[in-house]
Amino acid sequence: MRAEVDLSGAGAQSVHMPKTPPATRAPSTPLSAPQKALHKLGLVRDIDLALHLPLRYEDATRIVKLRDAREGDVVQIEATVIACDVSYRPRRQLLVEVDDGSEHCTLRFFSFYPSQIKALEVGKRLRVRGEVRGGFLGRTMMHPSFESAGGPLPAALTPVYPTVAGLPQAYLRKAVLAGLARAELGDTFPPEDFAPLNGPGQGGIWTLREALAFLHHPTPDVSLDTLEDHSHPAWQRLKAEELLAQQLSQLRSRRERAALRAPVLAPVSGPAPLYQRLQAALPFALTGAQQRVVTEIGTDLALHKPMHRLLQGDVGAGKTVVAALAAALCIDAGWQCALMAPTEILAEQHFRKLLGWLEPLGVTTAWLTGTQKTKERRTMLALIASGEARLVIGTHAIIQSKVEFHQLALAIIDEQHRFGVAQRLALRNKLLTDGLEPHMLMMTATPIPRTLAMSYYADLDVSTIDELPPGRTPIVTKVVQEARRHEVIDRIRSQVAQGRQVYWVCPLIEESEMLDLSNATETHAELSAALNEGGASVAVGLLHSRMPPDEKKAVMAAFVQGSLSVLVSTTVIEVGVDVPNASLMVIENAQRFGLSQLHQLRGRVGRGAAASACVLLYSTGEAPRLGEAARERLKAMAQTNDGFEIARRDLEIRGPGEFLGARQSGDAMLRFADLATDGHILDWARREAPRLLDHYPALAHKHVQRWLGGKSDFLKA
């Protein structure tokens, strides 16, 4: 634990506080620099200040003798200045020698002011706090904090808060203390309801005010371990409050949506509806999981309230055919369906597949992207507006203002975490019929761990395809060091000689001074040269996001058709690309990728009958070994192909961001609770939320406003 450095000129007492507290100053009054910094941290309301918890604590409650301090300890001493000099070798510095009666210690300052020299003159009695270091010339403290000795010692640990430039700790401590005193922290749910979370020996039920007061200024006898791992009862109370706010917000959104009306897409009776004809025309039988999920979706579509369902399934589980059958139900009922994908490659993949299934059955399908020629786009817009195009597939171009649907009833969003709140709302608003909302089906190939589904996705109904279609070959994953790169290239030669195709994925397309990574362009040149030695003729393609759309389309088409044996690519091929003949995936600098992303990339192979492999090529750079998180990711990839297990481990390693994407507009919305360890608190919050909303709606609203403010709006898309 390092000491908090104070270079303000006269120790901790030198910071001037404004007479008007930050949170109550009139809006028209110009803000001071520290107040602007508070706003930058989002500390606007009194409750914001009260919930701004310390990063760590300093123990200023006791005085330690230098003889009892070990090197590296952060201690507080009381000592007398016996020497104070400015030295110019090897650089300008202030050297202050102090004696606490047991040993001497040198205080070293590289940045100082005349006022500090005066405060540190010989004979002054000081209270000094810093990290004790050893050395050839004796003990030292670098830039310790100090103040005059003699005042009473604090009764609690001193908080050290997260801060930004221009916001000193002393100012922030006083602002937080003032906000805590002013904040309205009354209970918003009956205290006895919290009792199930209080374990044995935890000293009864903590109120929110008691919990916050303790966490800002804990007593010195507290176990620091329980503060740091957030297992202390005060932390449990805060996490329970936060998760309850999230559950209330999600439940309220779900109920508000249930009150809306949507088109009833009931099954059609009569001769050969499209749904039945499509199912009969498919060249494969649905798995049991696919049949179950289609039934769940069909049940929702037949209701007069909008479906808001998340369809999750592992890579290759067969989500596209489920989407096609859902679209058929919509078209059977006389309405239009839209399918939106995050990239043109994925959108085109869907278009070709669904066109192949539905066009022979008489369904007109429109295609919309941002790169279309004007004439083609005008034709597509007319088909959509007239209703002749029953199915519309495309990228975010679908939600542009010029796109007018005749009767949109079902919106399908693939890889939904890639779209922001505003984009999903824009698609929902494309239904022009008064008073009706379209049904929403969101799909993801990144399985959602249980605790995440119960928290961030609690406003959705979740359908899970937990069974892979027959014929998918297991993928063998190997973790290989960069030094064995030549062996990987030999493996590629072998695969190409057998008529197979290979992906090689790179994380960058240009050299970076910050990351010593091979780029896709260099790798393409390297593989082209290595695989065509001795007169061989191996076609190697290159694909990255900065290529013109037509060129990207041509390269991808050549690989799909088999005229390219090797495709060097950035992560634009992460989702949607389906080439059954591809049997080897090489991911370069795999340590730089997230776990879910690695799993997505691995899923591009193993789609045919041939044995498939994924090589995770890693480099440690100048470091002697991989970092802990990177090692855990690569280990998980080598141990399992199960996307649900991968998702669970990814949540443990990286937190919820990888799964949420833009769902919350970049705001994870959980500051204190940890879904990997607080599942029991989440279970409690799920049980408590309906009871609180039903019996104490005013308190429920107050609770959500206290914790989320306006952020709860992000949960409605």
SS3 43: coil
What's the confidence (pLDDT) of residue 552? 84
- pLDDT on residue 698: 92
Per the model's pLDDT, the better-predicted residue between 150 and 178 turns out to be 178
Reported as a single tens digit per residue, the pLDDT across 356-390 is 999 999 999 999 988 888 899 999 999 999 999 99
The predicted structure's pLDDT at residue 578: 75
* Mean pLDDT, range 598-623, rounded to an integer: 84
Confidence category of residue 632, pLDDT binned at 50, 70, 90: confident
d(CA 604, CA 600): 7
pLDDT value at position 128? 95
Average pLDDT over residues 37-42: 89
Closest CA to 358 of 412, 277, 284: 277
- Judge if the upstream peptide bond of residue 90 is cis by omega within 30 degrees of 0: yes
612-617-620 Cα angle (round to 5): 160
- Flag the least confident range among 60-64, 554-558, 618-622: 618-622
Q: With 0.85 as the threshold, say if the pTM is over it.
A: no
User: What are the start and end residues of each CATH 2.40.50.140 domain in the chain?
Assistant: 66-148
CATH of 274-465, one of 3.40.50.300, 3.90.700.10, 3.30.365.10, 3.40.50.970: 3.40.50.300
- Does residue 703 come out as left (phi exceeding 0), alpha (psi in the -120 to 50 range) or beta? alpha
List Cβ<8 Å contacts ≥24 apart for 286-289. 286/318, 286/321, 287/318, 287/465, 287/467, 287/468, 287/469, 287/470, 288/467, 289/313, 289/317, 289/464, 289/465, 289/466, 289/467
pLDDT digits (tens, 9 = 90+) for 417-433: 566 556 666 777 777 66
| 218 vs 515 pLDDT, higher one | 218
pLDDT of residue 623: 65
Residue 480 banded pLDDT, cuts 50, 70, 90: very high
Comparing 36 with 713, which gets the higher pLDDT? Answer: 36
Q: Indicate where the chain has its CATH 3.40.50.300 domain(s).
A: 274-465, 475-640
Tell me which architecture the domain covering 475-640 has in CATH.
3-Layer(aba) Sandwich (3.40)
Fold of 66-148: OB fold (Dihydrolipoamide Acetyltransferase, E2P) (2.40.50)
Does residue 213 carry a pLDDT above 90?
Answer: yes
Give the least confident one: 89-98, 446-455, 459-468, 705-714.
Answer: 705-714
Question: Chain-wide mean pLDDT for the chain?
Answer: 84
